[in-house]
Structure 1
């Protein structure tokens, strides 16, 4: 999981998020040997990374983004670049919140639900969690470490 970068003409840079498609994410995940995992993309901060690719023109069936046509026009690119998570169809939910878009992060391990206990979670990781749990692709999460006071603990932590 992280900002997607590519080397082009001996320069490293990012992809513009504005024209990114979910099938582009799937191609990247296949290229990185995650098989036919359904990946997730999200808008990541540039953090000094230059944008090299304005858009990819892919059919969705390629096994490598090198087989797609690259549009180098970056004139319509905003400040956001592409981040990719190829971990697959992980079951994530937000539990015990006051509404469906907030709560403790729960993850299903294939047998039971449990709470995510990680005090080092980053904003980018929180964006992927929010996207996975709520279905909203371009989120701006607000999160705090709850220390068990506001939410009940899940089965594992």
Structure 2
């Protein structure tokens, strides 16, 4: 066989091998961390229906893509979709412990009662802490990613030392306001209570705190304002 033919064969083999061993999920139509969710099955990319979709599913997708957490899930009408694609997955019900979306319980591949208006999208993140509800990115209600879900932090025992750990974790150097209730209250889980940071912790998750259950309500959700000054 000629050298040119061998080279062409090697390229084709490499492409086929990499596709078979490579990425099985991707996000399209958005940025590198968000977009319409697509999965690779039967040699083609296709979409995922939003039936029974939950936070555990989003967590598995983002983890498979190399992220630490998810920001949100959204319908496909917020991102580009293609009606020519197959819908591969329906009724996905991950527990959160799976290493890939393919491992999650679901209908057989391609068996679905959905239309593309039900395609699901996901936004992933490398963050396990965020500020929500402020007028700028340096302020807001504190939320932490814990046990595969975002939740709030109670203000019991909260002080400037705790707030400084949060601000430094987010890339700021100082605290303007350590305890503010001027931001909208949260919903869902209250993950942290009686936080008592020493001040040298790298993340809020490293700080001593009470184990759940807590004795707080969302009216006690803590918010802060950070500064780079």
Q: Structure 1 residues 47 and 38 mapped into 2: Cα distance closer, same or farther (>3 Å)?
A: closer
Q: 1:84–1:27: structure 2 CA closer, same or farther, 3 Å change rule?
A: same
1:80 deviates by 2.7
Displacement of 1:65 = 1.1
2:137 matched residue in structure 1: 107
Q: Size of the alignment, in residue pairs? A: 107
In structure 1, C-alpha distance between the alignment counterparts of 2:97 and 2:115, rounded to whole Å: 25
Q: Return closer, same or farther for 1:85/1:38 CA change in 2, 3 Å cut-off.
A: closer
Structure 1 spans left out of the alignment, 5+ residues:
96-105, 114-133, 136-154
Indicate the structure (1 or 2) with the bigger Cα radius of gyration: 2
- Residues 1:83 and 1:54: Cα distance change in structure 2 (over 3 Å): same
Alpha-carbon distance between aligned partners in 1 of 2:115 and 2:94, rounded to the nearest angstrom: 18
TM-score (normalised: structure 1) = 0.55
Q: Does residue 47 of the first structure (1) align with residue 81 of the second (2)? A: yes
Work out whether 1:18 is the aligned partner of 2:56.
no
Assess if the C-alpha contact under 8 Å between 1:3 and 1:84 holds in 2. yes
Work out the CA distance in 1 between the residues paired with 2:51 and 2:92: 11
In the TM superposition, what whole-angstrom CA distance separates every residue of 1:61-119 from its partner, at most 9, and x where no partner exists?
A: 11211211331432145613111111144324253xxxxxxxxxx22373389xxxxxx
1:29 and 2:62 correspond: yes
Larger fraction in helix:
2
Greater RCO, 1 or 2 (C-alpha within 8 Å, sep 6+): 1
